Structure 1
């Protein structure tokens, strides 16, 4: 009986794989720029981070016009997210690039084999329309992202309307939330009237056409901008990831989803098989929902378009290139062996007996359960990241690294909320001379000039010969606005 079932599963699996392989379309690999950023080097354990460009296309082909695809010819990219999966395969950050962002688009290959000239100060989503075909130009968008970020895009995946609608049905619907009622006139402003109610305010499940309409709605919510829509798309993806993980990240669960998705999937040649797609999906199954973050590139309005804010956006790309999480963790660093505690990384910032056990005193404090916000109150760049390494080295969790508001501080202070004095005392022991005081919620380490004096500019954060210097921390305005995949689906779903 068991042998017979095994044989049936194997044969059935082969049939499914053949079907999936037949579904997948690949784009022209020769259209990818030859002038590309270098691939990420493996870490000491042979692991490498992976960058995946996710594109949502409004192509009219493959029946998409019935779902609202297309418009004035060709295909456009409604959505673009660069997903950085860290080398440890336990963290991931998705960066939304607003479609109206003004960027430089490098030379791209046309259907006739010729290459365009570089275009400057043009809308980001115009890259996908180069060549004016129903399939769009994924390679051109990939070229534009690599030019923008200086990150090598390892894989590109394009999902059209049909594929998106099918995926939401395959998982049994996705929970979403809206801050107010949404009517037909909000989905189609040309309707000229309010129309019937499409979505009531609050939580609900959507699938198929209703899911597609949800992620495309702009008007009637917040300021009606594409930025607000981006926030809802991030919330939707968070819920989708949560739904898939809840069903179990195994082939039995993933194959029906893959069958639905691949019917409308276009990928780079290196990802053009069901086995490779499923292998990648299984490789990230251990990423915790809280460690999947979504952010939007730092931006500002420039007339009717969006300009990216420098140097904030450059610091974000640099952090990802260095495989640093939004809170400054080095995901390429080897984890301490079982039973070992990492040594403090900032010279002069911790005493020899400031191990987690010593800091915990009588055992009341468990470092792994303590979350710490690190705020640089010195006015000197880079010290927040240095202090964060010390905190994490002692076993604590750093949730945010940023700059303290107001004037520079003279002395380092650990602030704590109700019932958290013991944890504050433990963290303070990592920073000789630091004082503790009540204030706000949670544990906040606010660095003062005393820490800057003990850690002058140029002091290495780790005594490893030849180690690359840490990039500037991701601006707190970016890291603080990040959405985790386990966040409340009703939080942060509009702008303005």
Structure 2
């Protein structure tokens, strides 16, 4: 009996010890899981920190000191505008890819203004040809002084202002804001090396050539045709070959910069398609960001890894069909390119109010992609209470003030009343207080018809063959005089020439 009691006591003791050991094993396992989780968290956090540190170390910014104080209103548009500049600067190893002197002046090889609509479902890139004649406003020079306004000069000259090897992106930004009347929220400069590395990271980009391309097509100074660089048709390119593709100008179409822009737009569309097909996952996005930031210069607003990546992610929901590419309305003026008004103004005005290429309202997610109200009537102009027509009357419009876009506004009003606008330009002086209508011999009656849209204007006979309107401050200060309907969509010529990122890769690859 006593033996039985001793065995029961021993058994209870063993059970107790087993229970303690079980609890200890559970606590040990729990501690192991916790320590493992914490270790992983530390490793992941350290890894992300290292990635951000690496990306942040890659990013170079240009000084905001060169950005003008005289800028368009930031609240005027709900969308965002990003100026993208392709630099052919030869610094930082770029001469190995693009050739040329390492100490040469930095130039802009290509530029486009990317408008991201407020609904974050649409985007359009507007290319500005480098030989476009524009007004370059005052820009900061390396010695801290500011240049004087340069009129009727090539757009590419803005990036070279100051004659430095790295170029002047702030001056290009000032020029684009002056040209468009749109606030540029961010500016990004990508050089040869950055572009080349980017195409390698994505595994190459699919392109199409309208014909066989040889070395002389890339370098017209060659005395022989050289070896074949690209065979006609579709192919994948990366690195140096991708760079050669977007730089080809001669040997396709009329050899113009306009044709090259078409191929560059097709290339960027194909690059976007490739990135989206791979997916914007961290494993894909971070190597892409690393490659891009290593040879990228941005404005201070994008000068950190988190800002840059956050901005990139805001575009993830824009599908390929709603990503459009157009070129600013243009025409040849000798060997240069002139901007066609009022068409260009209509394009900028549509972007300002977040109207898409087809006129859809994309000003907010709540807009629901509504089409414009076709029955909406234009606001009447100052002298529009009596019906009249300007049919058969040619008028040139000059902006005699410093108010951006005034000549284009007046041109729209004139066209609305049937007048033919032969051109818009900046007047020789920009201190006109009163609008003047100058007319040549036999043009007085027609000038009086023009004056019905400018009731406070001074009529003046002059040594001219036609009719010139020089807008004064009185026109700028009179809202009723400048009132005209904002276009519901961009001009038909621009819309018809638009490219979508999902278009046929081989379509419309040259001009002339």
**Same fold by TM-score greater than 0.5:** yes
User: Equivalent residue of 2:363, what SS?
Assistant: coil
Structure 1 residue 335: deviation in Å? 3.0
Partner of 2:85: 55
User: Equivalent residue of 2:126, what SS?
Assistant: strand
Correspondence 1:438-477 to 2 at 5 A: 470-477=486-493
Question: Which residue, 144, 153, 170 being the options, matches 1:113?
Answer: 144
| Contact 2:118 2:365 (8 Å CA) reproduced | no
Which protein is richer in helix relative to its size?
2
User: Equivalent residue of 2:85, what SS?
Assistant: strand
1:16 aligns with 2:51: yes
Structure 1 residue 57: deviation in Å? 0.2
Structure 1 residue 471: deviation in Å? 2.5
| Contact 1:70 1:76 (8 Å CA) reproduced | no
| Contact 2:138 2:149 (8 Å CA) reproduced | yes
| Contact 1:289 1:484 (8 Å CA) reproduced | yes
1:122 aligns with 2:138: no
Partners of 1:83 and 1:336 in 2: CA distance: 21
User: Equivalent residue of 2:152, what SS?
Assistant: strand
| Contact 1:127 1:141 (8 Å CA) reproduced | yes
Partner of 1:231: 262
Correspondence 1:235-250 to 2 at 5 A: 235-250=266-281
Partner of 1:205: 236
Partners of 2:148 and 2:374 in 1: CA distance: 48
User: Equivalent residue of 2:83, what SS?
Assistant: strand
Task: Decide whether aligned partners of structure 1 residues 149 and 248 sit closer, same or farther in structure 2, where only a CA change above 3 A counts.
Answer: same
Partner of 1:384: none
Partners of 1:348 and 1:23 in 2: CA distance: 51
Partners of 2:292 and 2:248 in 1: CA distance: 22
TM-score normalized by structure 1? 0.72
Partner of 1:382: none
Q: Deviations over 1:250-278 (max 9, x none)?
A: 33211101111111111001110111110
Partners of 2:493 and 2:63 in 1: CA distance: 38
Task: Decide whether aligned partners of structure 1 residues 316 and 342 sit closer, same or farther in structure 2, where only a CA change above 3 A counts.
Answer: closer
Question: Which residue, 292, 297, 306 being the options, matches 2:323?
Answer: 292
1:310 aligns with 2:326: no
Structure 1 residue 6: deviation in Å? 4.5
Structure 1 residue 7: deviation in Å? 3.8
Partner of 1:35: 70
Correspondence 1:174-185 to 2 at 5 A: 174-185=205-216
1:260 aligns with 2:276: no
Question: Which residue, 191, 204, 215 being the options, matches 1:173?
Answer: 204
| Contact 1:24 1:272 (8 Å CA) reproduced | yes
| Contact 1:58 1:70 (8 Å CA) reproduced | no
TM-score normalized by structure 2? 0.69
User: Equivalent residue of 2:338, what SS?
Assistant: strand
| Contact 1:298 1:308 (8 Å CA) reproduced | yes
Partners of 1:345 and 1:86 in 2: CA distance: 19
Correspondence 1:118-157 to 2 at 5 A: 118-157=149-188
Partners of 1:171 and 1:164 in 2: CA distance: 11
Q: Deviations over 1:14-49 (max 9, x none)?
A: 11111111111111101000000001357xxxxx31
User: Equivalent residue of 1:121, what SS?
Assistant: strand
Correspondence 1:277-426 to 2 at 5 A: 277-335=308-366, 345=373
Partners of 1:343 and 1:475 in 2: CA distance: 15
1:251 aligns with 2:286: no
Q: Deviations over 1:122-176 (max 9, x none)?
A: 0001100011111100000000000000000000000000000000001000000
| Contact 2:372 2:488 (8 Å CA) reproduced | no
Partner of 2:473: none
Partner of 1:192: 223
| Contact 1:166 1:261 (8 Å CA) reproduced | yes
Partner of 2:245: 214
Task: Decide whether aligned partners of structure 1 residues 179 and 5 sit closer, same or farther in structure 2, where only a CA change above 3 A counts.
Answer: farther
Between structure 1 and structure 2, the one with the greater Rg is 2
| Contact 1:40 1:49 (8 Å CA) reproduced | no
Partner of 2:191: 160
| Contact 2:117 2:362 (8 Å CA) reproduced | yes
Partners of 2:230 and 2:125 in 1: CA distance: 27
Partners of 2:56 and 2:76 in 1: CA distance: 30
Partner of 2:408: none
Partner of 1:430: none
Partners of 2:66 and 2:152 in 1: CA distance: 22
Deviates more, 1:77-86 or 1:256-265: 256-265
Partner of 1:420: none
Partners of 2:215 and 2:370 in 1: CA distance: 57
Partners of 1:22 and 1:167 in 2: CA distance: 17
